[in-house]
């Protein structure tokens, strides 16, 4: 990346307009963020002093297109979310 690269944000009015047109996008973003933060907290608690944030980050990037309920099951062995989905059928 060149040193002349500049990351620019959309003006606040444009962001508000975007969320007004597609409010579900902001909601799903926040829900996903909260689910990832919960998975991060649980992974850190489970690993204790052996937790490595970079390894967790790499795991998420490698498997990011998989539903978080399945990631939680694979990463932590916690299938509560998967079992909860089965009840909905």
User: The domain containing residue 54 runs over which residues?
Assistant: 23-87
Count of domains for the chain? 1
Within a domain: 30: yes
Residue 28 lies in a domain: yes
Let me know how long the chain is.
89
Instruction: Kindly indicate the confidence band of residue 16, based on its pLDDT and cuts at 50, 70 and 90.
Output: confident
Query: Within a domain: residue 4?
Result: no
- Give a yes or no: residue 5 inside a domain: no
Query: In the predicted model, what is the mean pLDDT of the chain?
Result: 87
Of 41, 42, 47, 15, nearest to 29 by C-alpha is 15
Q: Is the pLDDT of residue 37 over 80?
A: yes
13 occurs within a structural domain = no
Output 29 or 10, whichever has higher pLDDT: 29
> Residue 15 falls within a domain, yes or no?
no
Query: Which pLDDT does position 60 carry in this prediction?
Result: 94
Work out the pLDDT band at 34, boundaries 50, 70, 90.
Answer: very high
Taking residues 28-52, what's their average pLDDT? 95
Q: Is residue 1 part of a domain?
A: no
Say what the pLDDT of residue 6 is. Answer: 64
Question: CA-to-CA distance for 25 and 30, rounded, in angstroms?
Answer: 9
Residues 65, 26: Cα–Cα separation, whole Å:
18
């Amino acid at each position: 990346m060149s040193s002349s690269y500049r990351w620019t944000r959309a003006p606040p009015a444009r962001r508000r307009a975007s969320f007004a047109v597609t409010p579900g996008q902001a909601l799903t973003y926040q829900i996903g963020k909260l689910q990832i933060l919960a998975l991060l907290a649980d992974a850190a608690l489970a690993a204790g002093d052996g937790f490595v944030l970079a390894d967790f980050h790499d795991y998420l990037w490698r498997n990011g297109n998989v539903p978080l309920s399945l990631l939680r099951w694979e990463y932590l062995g916690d299938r509560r979310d998967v079992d909860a989905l089965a009840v909905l059928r």
